[in-house]
Every structure is written in C-alpha cells, then in structure tokens.
Amino acid sequence: MSYTVPLIINGREIETSDTFDVVDPSTGSLLWKSSTATTKEAIEATEAAQAAFPAWANTKTTTRRDILLKAYEIFEKRSAEFSTYMRNETGSPDVWADYGTIPSAWELIKDAAGRIVPFISTVPLLRDKGAGVIIYKEPYGVVLGIAPWNAPYHLGIRAIIYALATGNTVILKGSELSPRCFWSIVSVFQEAGLPDGCLNFLTCRPEDAAATTKTLIEHPAIKKVNFTGSTAAGKIIATLCGQNVKPCLLELGGKAGAIILEDADLQKAALECTIGSFLHSGQICMATERIIVHKSVAPVAPSPVMVNSAGPAATRKLVADALSKGAKLLVGDIDAKEESETRMRPIVVEGVTPTMDMYYQESFGPSVSLIVVESEEEAITVANDTEYGLSAAVFTKDLDRGLRVAKQIESGAVHINKMTVFDDPNVPHGGVKSSGYGRFNGSNGLEEFLKTKSVTWAINQ
C-alpha cells in the first residue's frame, strides 16, 4: 500500500479522504500519494496558527533561537533522507540537491537564529522635551508562505524562517509537485520542539489551489503573505492581497542577462554562463537566459559545454519561434528524440531579436540566447530591455568598470565575474519590476516580518 503525505495542522498529521498522485518526473512512475487541502483545512490551519500566535510572539527570543538551532541540527542529520525526497519528486540532480539547495537551507536556519536577539526597540529624542517615545518592532501575526517545487528545501525554509524567528506563526503552502519535501520541513521543526500551531503545512491538488489560496489570503487572521513563483501567479496573489489590504513579499520570474565585455576572462565567463544557464535544467528563476557578448570577442568566445537536462515543452516552442524568425541554432537540436517528454538537451541560440518571443519570455528551461552587441552602452540597454529584474551578471577584468555597469542594470542583484544564480543567507534577495518586491535573507528578511509601532507619552511636569 502506497504512502500518503499528510497535512500538518496544529501539530497533528492529517490524511484527507481525497488525495492526488505524486509522480517521478524522470520516469512518470507513481511515488506516493498526498493529502489535499480544501477550504476546510485552510480555515483549520489558520485558526490553529492564530491561536498559537500570542504565546509564540511572547516567547523569549533566546528560546526561539534555541529551537531554530535545534532544527538546524536535525535538518543536517536528516539530509540524506531529504535528498531522496527531492530527487524523487523534482528530478533534481545530486549536485543541485546534495551540494546546493539542501545545505543552503541549513544555513538559512542558522543565520536567522543568530540574528534574532539583536532586534530591540528604539527610543529616539523628540523636539518636545515634555514627551517621550518608544518605537517597537512587533510580529504581524499569522503569515502565509507559498513556495514552489524547484528548490523545495531552500525556498520552503525561506518562506517560513524569517517569520518564525520574529515571533509570527506560519502556514506553509507547498507545491503539489513536491509535497513530501515540504512536509519534511515542518516535521523538522516539530521534532525541534516548536509549539503546536506555530507552523502548519498545507498542499493541494491543482483544481483546489485557487479556492484554497483565496480562502487563506482573505481570512482575517492572515496578516502577511510571501510568495515565490511565476510572475503570472504572483500577480494573482498580489491582487488578492491588495483587495484585502495585506502586505506581501513577492519573488517572481526572471530573464537574467549576463554581459561579457571585451576585456573579460572568456574561459571563466563561458564556464559561469554555462552553469548559470543549465544548472537544474534552467529551472531556476535566476538562471542565465541571455548572454550579451561584445562583438569583438563573440567569434572567439568558447561555446557552452553540453549537459543532460530536462525542460518544459514551452522551451521548444520559444526556440522554434526564434528559429523561424531568423535566429541560428549554435548548440543542440530541438527535434532530438529523448527518453520522455520531460527531457530536453541544452539549446544555445544566436541572433535572437526583440521580434522573437524568446527575447522577452522566461523559458524556465535549458535554453539560452546569445546576443552580440557593439558597445558597453548597448549591452546595458539590452540587459534592461525586459520586464524582469531579479538577477544579472557582468564579466570584466576591470572592477571599476564592472561596478559602473552594475549600477546601471535594473536588477535586484548584479554579480561581477560570477554566474547569475546566487543566493546567500547574508545577502538581501529579491527583484524589481515584474520580478517582485521585498527582500528575503539576513536582517532584511527579518525586517520584512516585523511591523513598526510608535508609542508616545506626555511627561508630567
């Protein structure tokens, strides 16, 4: 009899009568089933989180820190188990699971734990000497965190850790494509001693997703939402939050450009762009989708290496459109026969122009455009000619030049002589334009889940 992934509400594992299949994307075979949350479970989870909030908000910061550190230890010990879930549910290669997102998830927990205690109230001076003021930092209440499948441990931890560290209670709504990964995150915090109701786990089949999410966001107890996912879905989330006057933190899609200037180390640039384009089959919001090369080095720039990758059918459509409008295929074959429809080999396309869908649309697959430019100024213009602004890269041996270019690129992050895929617990992470707003990571991540309250008083004379 197959295993069924349970929901977790108020510390209890709940198996619903309705379930959905979870399949291995590499083989199409059934892995296990998962319980599905409906509006009923959404309300139950929200009420549990609301009931747990007063006690958790008033828990000593040192106690919260110790629970997080215990969770870090458990997470590290169970990493082999978690890697199995991730590889099975997402088709992730070992390098992405074992050496990438799982260790980075540990670090998010430890980093947040180390930042809890310093958050204190401030007492500024007023012009009125007969009055006083204290500015408090307080948790919002119940936070809804929605995380995607492609890096479930890193993005799932990120969706909850800053809210929990600052005294909020949380509902983690995980993707239906990797429910056991998200369930295991919550199980770690249960094992670490987090009180019941402080962290709840929901997932649901696609046909239940819209109603369940709407119920959660509209519930009066939900005070803030964070969402990582596509820009299309993010617009729906933002609209619901706006209609209910609730703040949200959004980390959405990207169309990262990597500029290779004429003085760049070409071998390094080629390696970084190859990894940045094809790591996890390009299924990363920060993946390099456009390599913008100065014409003087374009003829001698090394071609990216070949790797085995899987990608969505939409990527083939984007590439086919570009080729039909005059682009040239440098690496790959969109007609290559693969083991399954979920697999696709890397594609590099030259001569992509604004008339082609591939120039603007995020592929979220193993493809990259090579665009030749004649100047630094043109490179910056092309890099900014996108609705997205999550990550970018610049390759040059001149740091001053790299910094000058970086300041002109409209992006939440720009990396000099490094790939566009970069996310460190100490560095604020988030986008601009259609890539979202707000920041995860570090002190910025904690601040996102604290509201400011000013309390003033008159001093009796």
Cα 129 from Cα 86, distance rounded (Å): 60
On whether the CB atoms of residues 115 and 69 are closer than 8 A, the answer is no
Dihedral sign for Cα atoms in the order 330, 283, 436, 395: negative
d(CA 454, CA 398): 47
Which neighbouring-strand residues pair with 291? Answer: 258, 370
The CA radius of gyration of the chain, in Å to the nearest whole number, is 23
Place of tokens 């213009």: 381
Positive or negative torsion for Cα 316, 318, 321, 326: negative
Cα gap 87→102, rounded to integer Å: 11
CA distance 277 to 370: 11
Q: Which of 285, 362, 376, 448 is catalytic?
A: 285
d(CA 396, CA 409) in angstroms, rounded, equals 15
CA 424 to each of CA 396, 428, 441: distance values in angstroms, whole numbers, following the listed order = 22, 8, 7
Active site residue 285: yes
What b/e string do you get for 312-349 counting C-beta neighbours within 10 Å, with b at 16 or more?
beebbebbebbbeeebeeebbebeeeeeeebbbbbbbb
Strands (E), 19-64: 19-23, 30-35
Sheet holding 142-147, edge to edge: 12-14, 7-9, 199-202, 169-174, 142-147, 222-228, 248-251, 436-437
Q: How far apart are CA 274 and CA 302, in angstroms?
A: 10
- List the beta strands (DSSP E) in 203-285: 222-228, 248-251, 256-260
From the candidates 176, 251, 362, 448, which is the catalytic residue?
Answer: 251
d(CA 326, CA 329): 10
Active site residues: 251, 285
